[in-house]
């Protein structure tokens, strides 16, 4: 759903791009802090879920 949302509203989100976004969510503190405002560990959870989805 996330990949489709990005593609429909922003740009073509390939598996490679989605995988990179998942990694960025935890590698870049700005993203991680923003995502973790919802609950501690959310960015890490999303990163792992994206990695499973992308087969990595």
Are 52 and 15 in contact, with CB atoms under 8 Å apart?
no
Which pLDDT does position 56 carry in this prediction? 78
Which pLDDT does position 40 carry in this prediction? 96
Vertex 13, ends 46 and 8: CA angle to 5°?
Answer: 100
Number of Cβ atoms within 10 Å of the Cβ of 54:
16
Residue range 10-55, pLDDT digits in tens = 999 999 999 999 999 999 999 999 999 999 999 999 999 999 999 9
Helix (H) or strand (E) holding 40: none
**pTM, 2 dp:** 0.86
């Amino acid at each position: 759903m996330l990949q489709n949302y990005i593609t429909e509203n922003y740009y073509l989100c390939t598996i490679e791009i989605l995988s990179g976004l998942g990694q960025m969510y935890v590698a870049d503190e700005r993203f991680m802090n923003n995502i973790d405002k919802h609950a501690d560990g959310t960015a890490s959870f999303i990163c792992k879920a994206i990695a499973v989805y992308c087969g990595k």
